[in-house]
Amino acid sequence: MNLERSCGILCHISSLPGRYGHGTLGSEAFEFADFLKRSGQSFWQVLPIHPVKPVTCYSPYDSSSTFAGNTDFINLEELKEFSWYSDDIVAGLQEKDTQFCNFDEISEINHYRLKLALQLFLTSASAEEKNSYSTFCKNNKYWLEDYSLFSSLAAYFKTDDWLKWDFGYARRNSSQLSKWKTDRKDEQEFYKFTQYLFYHQWNKLKKYCNEHGIKLIGDIPFYVSFSSSDVWANNDIFQLDKKSSEPVDIAGVPPDYFSETGQRWGNPLYKWFSGSRLNSSVVDWWIKRIRHLTQVVDIVRIDHFRAFESYWAIPATEKTAVNGEWRKGPGIKFFHEVQKALGDLPLIAEDLGMITPEVQELRDRLNLPGMKILQFAFDQNNKNPYITHNIRNSNCIIYTGTHDNNTTNGWYYSDELSWDNKNYLKRYLGINHDHEMHKLMIREAYKSVADVVLIPVQDVLGLGQEHRMNTPGTLNDKNWSWKLKKGMLTIEHELYLNEQAQFYNRTLYP
């Protein structure tokens, strides 16, 4: 993929300043797109947009489906465009302009009100609206049927850990599932309908962004959650015990910058090979997955790209990720199969962590832009691959930090960075002060040779460490919950970003 010299901002949908507790696909999303346009930005990067779970603090990387959308992002007020809408859907909603999301409360409120929306749709929708819904269900049947079935069962058994369901449902007994589909049709209809509403609003937002020169960058996690419709409906493509259906080995990464004991993610591993050949069932499922996301966003960031070359396998009995082994991934053959099916794709490789020459070779053979993180650059090593004088290939994306890093000011002004490294950074930047470090680092990113600069919105605002999005390897109730408050992004931020984009030749429009 060839990128032009440009810039953008990383901000998840939940982090938008929604009126009722977190961001949605309503007016706040369109206003943010307008802000990007006025600021000279060309990209809006979001985190995975799938349903989230309370058990992992609503991490967007732990979802019940890799195809479904997070229906808590549905803006209830925007439903007024439909003929069946009633003010009862939003009656009594209390505005909450908070700094952090209350996911539990929002989910409960939305569930009740979307149930009402479904009843109004069934009784009052026009023939055209019902036809639109039927078309959506037909076009997405390949994942929507399993997702709605899984969701109705998870609601009944009060858990999405499908191994805790009655045996026949857990093992997909055909006669039991057939009876469930008939007896619980209304419940499944709810999950189909809310997916229709999510994608209706998402597609409107994407269209608006594209018409205003903004491209959406989405995120595809390499692994999926065990407690998901993906694994429940596709046991054969994962490395599971034949008798218990439990993973024998699980996913994660060995000790690294983020954690001394590594990260034990717990996801099931793919059954990449059938003998010495690629497993066509796994490849076909991945092709459906990538095709789906490329219809939803303009560019796809492959999280944990290195696992396509080799992946860290941890025995499920281990409490940490220290004891594991590297196993070969599907490599270039996988991408050849994807290209045969889908053609050349707009992909970004998240090539962070323990990156070997083999991973770099795979990325370069595919001509994929990788990622450079400025917070990783200043360790007094003049050969550090993240420091700007060593970024010689422009085919990359440079960040001050990502959703897994501290904010830039949090990183610099805390003890996360040693005094020696702080002095090294000041010397590198050619300064004898450390005021507004976020702006100094943004400038360093903007003037680099990297084709694209992406800045977390917290760094645009110059916020401290209490505003970071996620601390990897932890189940902190503040993880993933940070959000903008109304009015935080001002015309001063607009003018500042636009000036940087213009000065460093990163704006793609007048």
Q: How far is CA 192 from the centre of its chain?
A: 22
What does the pLDDT read at residue 510? Answer: 65
**Averaged pLDDT, 73-94:** 96
Number of domains in the chain: 1
Please give the residue range of the domain that contains residue 337.
234-281+304-346+356-367
Q: Above 90 in pLDDT, residue 475?
A: no
DSSP 327-383: EE--HHHHHHHHHHHH-S--EEE---SS--HHHHHHHHHTT--EEEEGGGS-SS-TT
The answer to whether 184 and 152 have CB atoms below 8 angstroms apart is yes
pLDDT-derived band of residue 55, with 50, 70 and 90 as boundaries? confident
Q: Above 80 in pLDDT, residue 180?
A: yes
What does the pLDDT read at residue 256? Answer: 79
Domain contains 247: yes
Residue type, 358: E
386-395 pLDDT, tens digit each: 999 999 999 9
What does the pLDDT read at residue 120? Answer: 98
Maximal CA-CA distance, the chain: 74
Domain contains 122: no
**Averaged pLDDT, 68-75:** 97
CB atoms within 10 A of CB 166: 12
Sign of the dihedral defined by the CA atoms of residues 462, 465, 466, 467, in that order: positive
What does the pLDDT read at residue 414? Answer: 95
Domain contains 453: no
Q: Is residue 303 flagged as an active site residue?
A: yes
Domain contains 315: yes
Out of 28, 160, 303, 459, pick the active-site residue.
303
**Averaged pLDDT, 114-126:** 98
**Averaged pLDDT, 264-272:** 96
Domain contains 277: yes
The answer to whether 172 and 232 have CB atoms below 8 angstroms apart is yes
Q: Above 90 in pLDDT, residue 1?
A: no
Domain contains 3: no
Domain contains 336: yes
Domain contains 46: no
43-52 pLDDT, tens digit each: 999 999 999 9
289-319 pLDDT, tens digit each: 999 999 999 999 999 999 999 999 999 999 9
What does the pLDDT read at residue 259? Answer: 81
DSSP three-state, residue 124: helix
Helix, strand, coil share (%) of the chain residues, nearest 5: 45, 15, 40
Q: Above 90 in pLDDT, residue 71?
A: yes
191-210 pLDDT, tens digit each: 999 999 999 999 999 999 99
The answer to whether 308 and 331 have CB atoms below 8 angstroms apart is yes
Q: Above 80 in pLDDT, residue 219?
A: yes
What does the pLDDT read at residue 309? Answer: 98
pLDDT-derived band of residue 354, with 50, 70 and 90 as boundaries? confident
Out of 298, 379, 404, 434, pick the active-site residue.
404
**Averaged pLDDT, 96-103:** 91
Percent of the chain residues past pLDDT 90, beyond the cut: 92
240-260 pLDDT, tens digit each: 999 999 999 999 999 877 688
What does the pLDDT read at residue 311? Answer: 97
pTM score > 0.95 for this model?
yes
Nearest to 143 by CA among 221, 61, 206, 50: 50
